[in-house]
Amino acid sequence: MNIAIRDISNSTAPALLIGLLVLLAFLEPASAVRFPSGTENATAASTYKTRCSGCHGQAGRGDTDVGKSLGVADLHSADVQKQSDAQLAAVIANGRNNKMPAFGSRLTKDQIDSLVLYIRELAKEK
């Protein structure tokens, strides 16, 4: 197999560098916040409804009878929202204070990450 290698002249190198920098400026960094797509959000909403709403309520306020008796967190609260995505994911995966069950063995990492984003979106609702 013959591969042709072209010499890049000194006059085209700056143009290529500028083009590369422009391209990189439009790429999303790996650590950027990713909001659920329509399908992913619907899946997260369904997972939240089946796994979380029994205690946290549909709106995430912790206002169900079970939630009130356990003293579950209001997902809109500053205490919850100040936690990093990784911290929230750890709570979902590992549970909390023997009150919240661990979901790490029942949900995939992607499902947990989608729930974190869903919780962030819930908090924006009044």
- 118 found inside a domain: yes
Can you tell me whether residue 96 is helix, strand or coil? strand
- 10 found inside a domain: no
- 19 found inside a domain: no
DSSP state of 100: B
Residue with tokens 């209001």: 74
Give me the number of domains the chain comprises: 1
- 96 found inside a domain: yes
Split at pLDDT 50, 70, 90, the class of 17 is: low
* Tens-digit pLDDT profile for residues 48-105: 999 999 999 999 999 999 999 999 999 999 999 999 999 999 999 999 998 999 999 9
- 67 found inside a domain: yes
Higher local confidence (pLDDT), 104 or 21 = 104
Bridge-partner residues for 96, per DSSP? 100
- 99 found inside a domain: yes
Contact 114, 36 (CB under 8 A): yes
**What pTM value is reported for the model?**
0.68
The CATH number of whichever domain residue 54 belongs to comes to 1.10.760.10
- 17 found inside a domain: no
Which residues are within 8 A (CB) of 60 and not within 5 positions of it... i.e. 6 or more apart? 52, 74, 75, 76, 119, 122, 123
Split at pLDDT 50, 70, 90, the class of 46 is: very high
Which residue range(s) make up the domain with 62? 38-124
- 22 found inside a domain: no
Can you tell me whether residue 59 is helix, strand or coil? coil
Q: What is the pLDDT of residue 115?
A: 96
Element (H, E) at 48: helix 38-51
26, pLDDT greater than 60: no
